[in-house]
Amino acid sequence: MVRKDFIKAKKQIEVSIGESVRIIRELQELSQNQLAELSGIPQSTISGIENGRINLGIERAKTLARALKCHPSVLVFPGWDILSESVA
């Protein structure tokens, strides 16, 4: 349900999956090394994900989401707009 007095923010930029991982990591003031320790995913793999050289994948998304305390969909679908995009 959308509130009548709510004004939706305008999308300013497109964010890639890797950028969403980096943004959430940096918002939590974590280095790649710290995230590697929390998640068990090597720092080089995290760097590759953030720079678009390595695909995130579902299992890594779940692992990183647990370490970053967010839902995996935040990482996998950073630009998703449920109101304007079809699920099918």
How confident is the model over 3-33, as pLDDT tens digits?
A: 677 676 666 678 899 999 999 999 999 999 9
- Of 55, 70, 58, the C-alpha closest to 25 is 70
What domains sit in the chain, N to C, each tagged with a CATH number? 17-75 (1.10.260.40)
- Of 66, 56, 58, 59, the C-alpha closest to 20 is 56
The pTM (predicted TM-score) of the whole model is: 0.76
For residues 64 and 36, is the Cβ–Cβ distance under 8 A?
A: no
| Each residue's pLDDT tens digit, 33-87 | 999 999 999 999 999 999 999 999 999 999 999 999 999 998 988 776 656 555 5
For residues 76 and 48, is the Cβ–Cβ distance under 8 A?
A: no
